[in-house]
Chains A and B, each alone.
Chain A
Amino acid sequence: DIVMTQSPLSLPVTVGEPASISCRSSQSLLHSNGFKYLSWYLQKPGKSPQLLIYLSSNRASGVPDRFSGSGSGTDFTLKISRVEAEDVGVYYCMQSLQSPFTFGPGTKVDI
C-alpha cells in the first residue's frame, strides 16, 4: 500500500497570513498519463470532507483562489495565501493512483 505522511500535524495560523502543509507519498503518484493522482480535502469541524484540490494542482469548483496545490511525484504542498477564519479544520491528502486509496494522517489548522 502507498503510505501518505503529512507535516506538520498541527498548524496554528494567523488570519491574513500564509500557511503551508506538506504531504509525502511512499511511491510516486505520477500516472503514465502525466497527471499526479493526489487530492486535498478539508474537513471542517463536525462536517464531511470537502474537495479542495485535484490532480495535485487544480482547484475544485467553488474553491477560493487563495488555495493552491503543487508537487512532484512524491512531495506535495498545499498553500493558503492568506488564511481566513473559515479555513480552520483538518486537511487531508489522498492518493488515488492505486487501490487501496490512502489518506494522510491529517493536519489540524486552527487560529
Chain B
Amino acid sequence: QVLLVQSGAELKKPGASVKVSCKASGYPFTSHPVHWVRQVPGQSLEWMGWINPGNGMTKYSQKFQGRVTMIRDTSTTTVYMELRSLRPEDTSVYYCAKYYGVWESFDFWGQGSLVTVSS
C-alpha cells in the first residue's frame, strides 16, 4: 500500500534550519510529484511547493522562495524539505503529500512532522 513516512518532531531556535524527510513506498516513486503543505496548529493548510522525483525539478511558493529547498533521493525513495532562517511563526506541522495528476489532487499524505521554533 502507499505510504509516506515522515521524520519526527523537531525543536529549533530562531535563525536555524530544519530538514524534514518523507520516505515514499508502495508506488512508482519517480512517477508522481510530492508536495509540501504546512499547518499552524488550529489553522488552515498552506502550500509550500513541490518536487518532481523523476527529474528533481522544483517549484516553490513565492512566500518561501529563497528559504526552502526540496530535494529527492531516488535510491531511498525519500524526499526532503529544508527550511532555513526559521522564525517562531514557522512553528507548524509539515506534511508531504503525493500528487496524483490524473485526479489533480493529493491522494496520500504523510503523518506530519511538527517543527517548533522557539528560543
Contact for B112 among A35, A41, A48, CB less than 8 A: A48
State the CA gap A10–B46 with chains docked (Å). 20
Contact for B103 among A54, A99, A101, A103, CB less than 8 A: A54
Within the complex, the shortest CB–CB distance from B109 to chain A, in Å, comes to 4
Residue of A nearest to B45 (CB): A103
With a cutoff of 8 Å between Cβ atoms, the chain B residues found around residue A94 in the complex are 45, 105-106
Chain A 32-71 residues near chain B, CB threshold 8 A: 35, 37, 39, 41, 48-51, 54-55, 58, 60-61
Within the complex, the shortest CB–CB distance from B6 to chain A, in Å, comes to 10
Within the complex, the shortest CB–CB distance from A111 to chain B, in Å, comes to 20
Within the complex, the shortest CB–CB distance from A39 to chain B, in Å, comes to 4
- What class of interface size applies to chain B in its complex with A? 20 to 34
Contact for B47 among A41, A49, A101, A106, CB less than 8 A: A101
Check if A48 sits within 8 Å of B111, measured CB to CB: yes
B62 on the A face (CB < 8 A):
yes
Check if B105 sits within 8 Å of A103, measured CB to CB: no
Contact for A99 among B61, B104, B109, B111, CB less than 8 A: B61
Check if A102 sits within 8 Å of B104, measured CB to CB: no
With a cutoff of 8 Å between Cβ atoms, the chain A residues found around residue B97 in the complex are 49
Would you call the interface of chain B mostly helix, strand, loop, or mixed? strand
State the CA gap A58–B107 with chains docked (Å). 13
Check if B45 sits within 8 Å of A49, measured CB to CB: yes
Check if B103 sits within 8 Å of A100, measured CB to CB: no
Chain A 58-111 residues near chain B, CB threshold 8 A: 58, 60-61, 92, 94, 96, 99-106
Interface string of B92-119 (1 = CB under 8 A from A): 0001010010011111011110000000
- The residues of B with any CB-CB pair to A shorter than 8 Å are 35, 44-47, 59, 61-63, 95, 97, 100, 103-107, 109-112
- The residues of A with any CB-CB pair to B shorter than 8 Å are 35, 37, 39, 41, 48-51, 54-55, 58, 60-61, 92, 94, 96, 99-106
